[in-house]
């Protein structure tokens, strides 16, 4: 019975080898890739609603939308900027609110409520342009966009309201700068709390004009107050006149 | 030494050992391998929606452990007709199951386009001394039971979740593997069928229990959302089924 299955000289070492194979076979990594969830909402319209804190009747509503005013349908490659402007009084403070809508829904879906619910990984940035160099401080508590991420090569044909170029710039002269500083006033639920930017203060200086670029960054497990992490959920530019 | 000489040597070993065995079951060593079915929260999973948290984190008590595999080496010396002392050395692993739900929980919590989840596995090394019981049922068939208490070195899986949104990959969410040594117990019973004087095929079922109370570290979690396990204080309990081969140092009386 030397060659029998149950031969003592083969069975016991064989069982030990089998044991090693069983254990080693389980030492592997599995990987699961989960695809995108269906039904994500569109961000069709971004409104900045500003109320003068000294004059509640002075309310500005600047609207940038991808909803065609002609067909009332969402246009993936077009932005309608004819209402994307604001006229602010000089040397004033406005309390600001960002309202984001999905106008493909009936009734409109207020996406900014969803952003508020997901405040822990969303952050707004506001870049006035031309920005006064002495005001331009990029930190985890300011709303400025790092210069490397500025719009600088936008074709002349791509403008915001009134044909104002969307290209951003910096200036050393207060006379040529847009005298506007935006500060976020709301805080999220992180530990420690970080700013969000759905609620803001817009502080104006002397009369001037320029643009205000508004960017919403989606920073899943990466929000740290700065601009770079994450991706951009929306990026719109408004024309600003301070008078 | 050729095969026939080895057989002769083993036969002589059996016969000589049997002189001292008298009425007691023979001393044995045994190699087993089998499947381990996790029980309780350790083997529980969840739906993606129950892991979704956009404000605050979810401290998940579920272990997501899949059916695992293990191998063991054990043996015993009998000091009476039925009872003996012995021990078992065991190594087993458990992968994770329903990783898709786990992954999707992060995806929904952070509202991202895709998540890619890569887990390793639980591993458990155990050294368990204890009491063995043997009862001969038939000429070639024995009932055996054991109650063992010892220690286990257990490790939790490392779970890496890569999140992508808008084509951008941010720093992954990483739950590091944690290890702990804890008291463990194993209670089981089985049937030994003798195929030669020295060898038996063994079929066993065991219940295994340990409760390591892991402290789990995570890579920087900057934002207060999604599943985040910092402590896992759930029992690692399982029912194990094994098939093995026992070598007896002495002829069965």
> Does any CB of chain A come closer than 8 Å to the CB of residue B159?
no
Identify the pLDDT of residue B23: 74
Identify the pLDDT of residue A76: 84
Tokens of B45: 């999973």
Q: What is the pLDDT of residues B113-169, one digit of tens each?
A: 999 999 999 999 999 999 999 999 999 999 999 999 999 999 999 999 999 998 999
Question: Testing the interface with B: which of A39, A120, A218, A226 to mutate, by most B Cβ within 10 A?
Answer: A120
Q: Which residues of A touch B4 (CB under 8 A)?
A: 2
Identify the pLDDT of residue B136: 95
Any idea what DSSP says for residue B25?
P
- A96 CB-side CA count, 13 A: 28
CA distance A181 to chain B (A): 27
Identify the pLDDT of residue B15: 44
Helix, strand, coil percentages (3-state) for chain A, rounded to 5, are: 15, 35, 50
CA distance B213 to chain A (A): 23
> Which run of H or of E encompasses A9?
helix A8-25
Mean pLDDT of B48-65: 93
Identify the pLDDT of residue A62: 97
Which residues contact residue A240 at a Cβ distance below 8 angstroms, ignoring those fewer than 6 apart? Answer: A85, A86, A88, A128, A178, A180, A209, A210, A211, A212
Identify the pLDDT of residue B107: 93
From the CB of residue B234, how many other CB atoms can be counted at a distance below 10 Å? 18
Query: SS3 for B65?
Result: strand
Q: Which residues of B touch A219 (CB under 8 A)?
A: 170, 223
> Which run of H or of E encompasses B134?
strand B122-136
Identify the pLDDT of residue A5: 40
Which of B253, B71, B201, B25 lies closest to A6 in space, CA to CA? Answer: B201
Contact A2 B4 (CB under 8 A): yes
Window 170-229 of B, Cβ < 8 Å to A:
170-171, 173, 195-196, 198-199, 221-226
CA distance A58 to chain B (A): 35
CA distance A44 to chain B (A): 17
The residue that leads in pLDDT, B20 or B118, is B118
Identify the pLDDT of residue B166: 87
Identify the pLDDT of residue B19: 43
Identify the pLDDT of residue A6: 42
Identify the pLDDT of residue A1: 36
Average pLDDT value for chain B: 91
Identify the pLDDT of residue B22: 52
Which residues make beta-bridge pairs with A236? A214
Identify the pLDDT of residue A35: 59
> Does any CB of chain B come closer than 8 Å to the CB of residue A137?
no
Q: What is the pLDDT of residues A85-95, one digit of tens each?
A: 999 999 999 99
Mean pLDDT of B58-69: 95
Residue with tokens 């194993």: B186
Identify the pLDDT of residue B29: 96
Identify the pLDDT of residue B250: 73
Are A196 and A223 contacting, i.e. CB atoms less than 8 angstroms apart? no
The per-residue pLDDT string of chain A (243 residues; one tens digit each, 9 = 90 and over) reads 344 444 445 555 555 555 555 555 444 455 676 655 555 668 899 999 999 999 999 999 999 999 998 898 998 888 898 899 999 999 999 999 999 999 998 899 999 999 999 999 999 999 999 999 999 999 999 999 999 999 998 888 888 998 899 999 999 999 999 999 999 999 999 999 999 999 999 999 999 999 999 999 999 999 999 999 999 999 999 999 999
Identify the pLDDT of residue A17: 56
Question: Testing the interface with A: which of B3, B14, B35, B71 to mutate, by most A Cβ within 10 A?
Answer: B71
Of B68, B119, B223, Cβ closest to residue A26: B68
Of A18, A30, A229, Cβ closest to residue B170: A229
Contact B71 A20 (CB under 8 A): yes
Cα–Cα dist B116/A35, whole Å: 9
- State pTM to two decimals: 0.83
Q: Which residues of B touch A34 (CB under 8 A)?
A: 100, 103-104, 107, 114-117
Identify the pLDDT of residue A162: 87
Identify the pLDDT of residue B251: 55
């Amino acid at each position: 019975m030397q060659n029998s299955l149950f031969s003592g000289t083969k069975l016991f070492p064989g069982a030990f080898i089998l044991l090693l194979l069983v254990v080693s076979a389980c030492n592997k990594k599995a990987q699961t890739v989960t695809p995108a969830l269906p039904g994500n909402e569109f961000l069709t319209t971004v409104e900045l609603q500003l109320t003068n804190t000294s004059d509640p009747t002075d309310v500005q509503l600047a609207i940038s939308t991808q909803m065609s005013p002609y067909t009332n349908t969402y246009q993936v490659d077009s932005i309608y900027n004819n209402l994307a402007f604001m006229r602010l009084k000089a040397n004033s403070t406005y309390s600001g609110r960002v309202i984001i809508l999905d106008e493909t829904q009936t009734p409109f879906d207020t996406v900014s409520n969803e952003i508020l619910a997901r405040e822990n990984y969303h952050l707004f940035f506001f870049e006035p342009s031309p920005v006064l160099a002495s005001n331009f401080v990029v930190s985890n508590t300011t709303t400025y966009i790092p210069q490397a991420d500025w719009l600088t090569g936008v074709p002349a044909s791509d403008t915001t309201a009134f044909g104002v170029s969307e290209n951003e710039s910096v200036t050393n002269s207060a006379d040529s700068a847009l005298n506007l500083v935006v500060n976020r006033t709301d805080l999220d639920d992180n530990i420690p709390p970080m700013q969000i930017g759905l609620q803001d203060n817009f502080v104006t200086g002397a009369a001037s004009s320029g643009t205000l670029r508004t960017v919403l960054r989606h920073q899943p497990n990466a929000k740290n107050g700065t601009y770079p992490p994450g991706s951009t959920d929306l990026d719109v530019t408004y024309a600003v006149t301070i008078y | 030494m050729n095969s026939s000489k080895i057989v002769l040597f083993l036969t002589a070993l059996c016969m000589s050992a049997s002189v001292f065995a008298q009425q007691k079951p023979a001393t044995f060593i045994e190699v087993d391998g089998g499947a381990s079915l996790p029980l309780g929260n350790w083997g529980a999973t969840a739906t993606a929606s129950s892991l979704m948290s956009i404000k605050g984190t979810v401290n998940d008590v579920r272990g997501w452990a899949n059916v695992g595999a293990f191998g063991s080496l054990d043996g015993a010396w009998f000091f009476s007709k039925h009872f003996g002392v012995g021990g078992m050395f065991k190594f087993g692993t458990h992968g994770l199951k329903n990783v898709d739900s786990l992954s999707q929980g992060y995806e929904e919590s952070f509202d991202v386009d895709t998540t890619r989840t890569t887990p390793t596995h639980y591993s458990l090394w155990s050294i368990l001394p204890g009491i063995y019981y043997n009862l001969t049922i038939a000429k070639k068939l024995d009932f055996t039971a054991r109650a063992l208490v010892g220690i286990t070195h257990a490790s939790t899986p490392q779970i890496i979740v890569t999140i992508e949104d808008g084509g951008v990959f941010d720093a992954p969410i990483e739950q590091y593997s944690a290890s702990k040594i804890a008291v463990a117990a194993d209670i089981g019973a089985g049937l030994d069928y003798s195929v030669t004087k020295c060898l038996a095929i063994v079929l066993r079922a065991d219940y295994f229990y340990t409760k390591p109370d892991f402290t789990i570290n995570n890579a920087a979690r900057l934002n207060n959302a999604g599943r985040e396990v910092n402590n896992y204080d759930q029992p690692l309990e399982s029912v194990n089924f094994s098939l093995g081969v026992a070598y007896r140092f002495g002829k069965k009386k």
